[in-house]
Amino acid sequence: MRGIGPSRLGVFGPGHLGELTGWVPGALVDEVLAATGRVEKRVRLLPARVVVYFVLAMVLFMDCGYGGVWASLVAGLPRSGLSDPSSAALRHARRRLGAAPLAMLFDRLRGPVASAGTVGAFWRGLRVVAWDGTSLEVAGSAANVARFGLHGSGCSRPASYPQVRLTALVECGTRALIAVVFGPRDQQERVQAHALLSALERGMLLLADRGYDGFELIRDAAATGADLLWRMHTRRNLPVLHALADGSHLSVITDTRSMARLTAWLNRASRTVPPQVTGVAVRVISFSVTVTTASGERSTTDVRLITTLLDPDRYPATELAALYHERWEAETAYFGLKVTLRGADRVLRSHWDDGVDQEIYALLIVFQITRMAMTQAATAAGIDPDRLSFTIALRTARLRVITAAGALGAPVPQVPFADVLVLARNLGPRRRRSRISPRCVKRTLSPYAYNKVAGSVGGKKPVEITIAIAPS
C-alpha cells in the first residue's frame, strides 16, 4: 500500500485511522482477517478491511451514528470511487465481520510498551504493573440481558442496563493494557484475575488492592516469577517470624489448615521441630498515611502491605509504601477508557452479544494504540508519559481521521502527531500536585439528607501527605 494515494484506493480508501493507521497498518489487519477466515471471496463496496477500521472509528466517534462515523472516514478523501453505504449496510457488515478479528487484533497489540528509556515505568529495575476490575454498561436488548443479566440496583427493581465485568493488567508507567479479560458482571474479579496470570512474568512488580487478598491467587501469582506488592486486610493473620530493622517483618501467607498449624506452633513455649506448612514467604509493611488539608483537618489511614521482595536493604519499606500509590494508575487508565474515550455514562451501542465483544475489543484497541503513540513520543522526548494528555491525543487523532492526514499515502501534516503531543503548551507539570479522592458522592441524585455523605472532605486540596512506617 505504500506510495498509493487515496484517489487510487477506491473502495479501500476509507480503511484508515489517520496517523494512528501506522499502529494498525493494513497489512496487520489483512493478516488478522485471513487468520480468522473473514476475507471476502469478492471485493464488496464494504471490504472486510474497511469494516475493521469502521468499527475502530466507531470508538473514536462514539457520539455519532453509523452515518456520522462513515462521514468522518471519507471526509478527507477524494469522492471518486467512494460510495455512501446506508446504516443498514454498515450494520450488516459489522455482523459479517464478527468479533474474532478484533479479538485477535487486540491480542497482537496488547502488552507492555515502555522501553528501558521510558521515564517512570520502572522501579529499581522492575516494571511496575497493576490489575483491577471495572464494569461497562451495554444496551438493554434481549440478547444482552440473556448473556450478561441485570444486577440489583439497591432498590426494588433491577438496574436499567446489563453490565460487563472487565479486569485489566495495566502497565503503570504508561497505562497501556498488558492483558484484559471480560464477561458477565457476576464473574468475580478474582476469577478474572486468574485468567490474567499468564501475562505476568519475571521482572514485573504487581500491585493489587485488598479485593485480591486470597491465598490461592497470591500463591499462583507468585509462581509466575513476578514480584508482588499487595494490600492486605488488617484482620488477616500475618505472624511475625522475623522482625527487620526498617520496621517490616517476615511472615508467610498460607491456607487455613497450614496457618492453624503455624499458629499453634508459635503459641508453644518450647518450639522444637517447625511445622510443615505450605505457603508463600512474604514481607509485611505496616504504615499510616496522614492527610492534612489547608484548613487544618487531618485524616489518617492505616495500611498493611505484603511483598515478595524480602531484602530490606535492596527494597526499602518507605519506598515500597510510597510506590503502592502507583496502583491508582489502573484507575486512571479506566477513567481514560470509560470517560475520556467512551464518554461519561455512555452505554455501548451493540444489541447482540457478538457485537458487544466486537465493540469492547475495538475500545481496547483504540485505547492501546493511543497509549503506544503517547509512550513513543514521550520516550523520544525523554519525558514521563504521565505529562502527556490523553484528551489532546484523542482530539488530535479524531482531527487526523477527518482530514485523512498522514494515512494511505496522504501527505504527513506539517506538525506530526507525536510532535503535537509533546508541545510545551500540551504538557502537564513535571510534578503533579497531591490529591485525595474520598469514596463519597459529591453531588447526590437525591435531595434528601439521608442520601448525603456527612463530613465529606471531597474537593479539598491536601497541603501535606505523610507516610509513617509502623514497627512490627
Inform me whether the pLDDT recorded for 7 exceeds 90: no
315-345 as b/e, with b when 16 or more CB fall inside 10 Å? bbbeebbebbebbbbbeebbebbbebbbeee
Note the Cα 210 to chain centre separation in Å.
Answer: 18
- State phi, psi for 372 to the nearest 5 degrees: -65, -45
pLDDT of residue 456: 47
pLDDT of residue 379: 96
* Nearest one of 43, 309, 319, 337 to 167, comparing CA atoms: 337
CA dist list (Å): 277 to 92, 248, 397: 59, 22, 55
Beta-carbon contacts of residue 311 (< 8 Å; ≥ 6 apart):
none
How would you classify the pairing of strands 126-137 and 176-184? unpaired
Inform me whether the pLDDT recorded for 401 exceeds 60: yes
Strand partners, 230: 208, 306
pLDDT of residue 455: 46
Find the mean pLDDT for residues 431-457: 54
- State phi, psi for 106 to the nearest 5 degrees: -65, -35
Inform me whether the pLDDT recorded for 407 exceeds 90: no
Mean pLDDT over each residue of the chain, to the nearest integer: 86
**276 vs 304, more confident:** 304
Catalogue the E-assigned strands of 239-297: 242-243, 249-254, 279-293
Helical spans, DSSP H, in 130-255: 142-148, 189-195, 215-223
Domain spans in the chain, listed from the N-terminal domain onward: 6-109+389-426, 122-334
Find the mean pLDDT for residues 57-81: 90
* Nearest one of 343, 294, 285, 293 to 315, comparing CA atoms: 285
pLDDT of residue 1: 39
**262 vs 400, more confident:** 400
pLDDT of residue 262: 75
Strand partners, 303: 287
pLDDT of residue 6: 42
Amino acid at 61: F
* Nearest one of 240, 221, 326, 318 to 283, comparing CA atoms: 240
Strand partners, 158: 152
Note the Cα 69 to chain centre separation in Å.
Answer: 25
Least confident range from 10-24, 50-64, 160-174, 353-367: namely 10-24
Q: Is the dihedral of CA 393, 395, 398, 400 positive or negative?
A: negative
Question: What pLDDT digit, counting tens, does each position of 24-47 carry?
Answer: 999 999 999 999 999 887 777 889
Cα 207-391-137 angle, rounded to 5 deg: 65
Cα 285-257-186 angle, rounded to 5 deg: 75
pLDDT of residue 4: 40
Find the mean pLDDT for residues 376-385: 94
pLDDT of residue 408: 62
String of DSSP letters for 326-354: GGHHHHHHHHIIIIIIS-TTPPB---SHH
How would residue 84 be classed by pLDDT, with cut points 50, 70 and 90?
confident
Amino acid at 94: R
Least confident range from 15-19, 109-113, 120-124, 428-432: namely 428-432
Task: Name the residue with cell 494498525.
Answer: 24
